[in-house]
Structure 1
């Protein structure tokens, strides 16, 4: 039974974790480049220097003595985000949406004291959220404000867009929608929804929640398919440029859509997960082979980003897809 199931998945071009690690992560991502994306502070500074739009960094705290500077860092901001520089999976992120007298209000409405914020930062510095448990830094940055479209199909938090990029070619994309269960985080393992995206148009396809197909968001009841994402061309351009920025050949690019500033690069991942295949209802191996064949045809030359994007859009377009009318 297992063998028949695996053969069927292979026939559809589904990529397994061992194949991802051996044929893509290890093959295309040089180890010395990992720190460029594993440290969010380093990634943000590098992207800013390259002219790639990211949420503004208000400050960093790397020592226990530095925790006392928090008041000064956030003094001019009613809302902000605190996150570990080397965190993973959304752990350790605290979103402050407003202030109430001498207190802070989280995105979920919980009142938080300054002492609680300092305690949280102390935990970040100690490494409880970092990759490998090493000492870390706390990053304080601009809080992204979601668009009206995303507010209708999301719960509390800000959705993000994951685009897999192979040698600078966009391969697959999905929208990740926070839910009540995920506590407002766009993390599939914590209960967020994955929604496939047509790479050519940025129109949403079907949704998946805990590996089950769904048509509506469980908290908002709004349909998740047939929606046109704004600024899709810019999203693809940002994703493609991240290959040129880092040199990592197999890369997960996470973007957010800000109400005021439009698409912004949130973070990069040198070991992107495989759940995107469920959201896309299509295999990554099949798509990656198409890209690899294209690279062979051009003799390994790195084409301009717009040419790479045009090829991916033509190869991976969903035929006959028409976005649903937008809701008022």
Structure 2
């Protein structure tokens, strides 16, 4: 009886379940033949560059054990960089180097790292221990995104990212993912990062969830997470909407990062985006997707320009959220 009432309540809120996501959206809108476009970060990056979409600069890629010896040449002109698996998932296998210390490297958490440790980590990536399905992989060495001052106040060590769900080119829902001490600086909800809902119309943060519980402040910085406006929000929405035209995937998650110098960048794409965004948004994906699908049916499934798609989503999914914080020092510090 309890579970029956719970399911009815969730359906009434338009909440999407995992089976419904898999059957009615991923299988329906995403052709399996297109998955390699987003499962391989190197292929995704090149495709984005060809389309004029901003991504973190690639310094080099190492695909063989013999190639590990070239690492010093790849990074010799860079004091900081990121090493990541091309086919990784969930943030696993990512190593962030923030600086150099004589003949050593310093990680984002301040740990001193030797060249041998970097090479050992790359060897593990190549062997496939972080890749989808355990297949052999390659290590990407790329530009380290430097977060904005706004995000630094509501994040611990790592760089926050923005997840936007897109259906047939229409932004559906968005959240900000904030690293914590528990998540070890990674913007991964399953590892302890915070999910913060975003108003699609304005880019204003609505409130946070941590381990599926509502929170008002970041547990490490004590700064409020609601009422802040994401900079360059229009550009974020445009980047997300364009990723549908880029890949042909009808239902996908677009992950963006905000760099203090270059602005919004597309980090990666996900053909199987998770459902936790519904908790962060306090709203159901199914309800929003149904609105878009009804709209597409009325158009005869004619693809509309990016600007029209964004305008539709902003109109129908605007949220009356917290008043934006106007003063840069209004957040409470520990």
Interval containing the TM-score (normalised by the shorter chain): over 0.9
Contact 1:84 1:93 in 2 (8 A): yes
Contact 2:226 2:322 in 1 (8 A): no
Measured in 2, the distance between the counterparts of 1:270 and 1:320 equals 29
Measured in 1, the distance between the counterparts of 2:142 and 2:327 equals 32
Aligned to 2:304: 303
Contact 1:186 1:192 in 2 (8 A): yes
TM-score normalised by the chain length of structure 1:
0.99
TM-score normalised by the chain length of structure 2:
0.97
Unaligned runs of 5+ in 2: 330-334
Aligned to 1:157: 158
User: 2:34 matched to 1:33?
Assistant: yes
Aligned to 1:102: 103
Unaligned runs of 5+ in 1: none
1:273 aligned counterpart, secondary structure: coil
- Following superposition, the deviation at residue 2 of structure 1 comes to 1.0
Aligned to 1:15: 16
Measured in 2, the distance between the counterparts of 1:112 and 1:324 equals 39
Contact 1:251 1:268 in 2 (8 A): yes
Matches within 5 A, 1:115-264: 115-264=116-265
Measured in 2, the distance between the counterparts of 1:240 and 1:128 equals 32
Measured in 1, the distance between the counterparts of 2:99 and 2:49 equals 26
User: 2:309 matched to 1:313?
Assistant: no
2:190 aligned counterpart, secondary structure: helix
Contact 1:227 1:326 in 2 (8 A): no
1:175 aligned counterpart, secondary structure: strand
1:91 aligned counterpart, secondary structure: coil
Measured in 2, the distance between the counterparts of 1:324 and 1:262 equals 20
2:60 aligned counterpart, secondary structure: strand
Measured in 2, the distance between the counterparts of 1:141 and 1:150 equals 21
Aligned to 1:80: 81
Aligned to 1:93: 94
Measured in 2, the distance between the counterparts of 1:190 and 1:3 equals 30
- Following superposition, the deviation at residue 225 of structure 1 comes to 0.3
- Following superposition, the deviation at residue 297 of structure 1 comes to 1.0
- Following superposition, the deviation at residue 317 of structure 1 comes to 0.3
Measured in 2, the distance between the counterparts of 1:326 and 1:30 equals 46
- Following superposition, the deviation at residue 197 of structure 1 comes to 0.1
Runs ≥4 residues deviating over 6 A: none
Measured in 1, the distance between the counterparts of 2:14 and 2:132 equals 31
Measured in 1, the distance between the counterparts of 2:3 and 2:62 equals 50
Measured in 2, the distance between the counterparts of 1:312 and 1:238 equals 14
- Following superposition, the deviation at residue 327 of structure 1 comes to 2.2
Measured in 2, the distance between the counterparts of 1:313 and 1:327 equals 26
Contact 2:255 2:269 in 1 (8 A): yes
- Following superposition, the deviation at residue 321 of structure 1 comes to 5.0
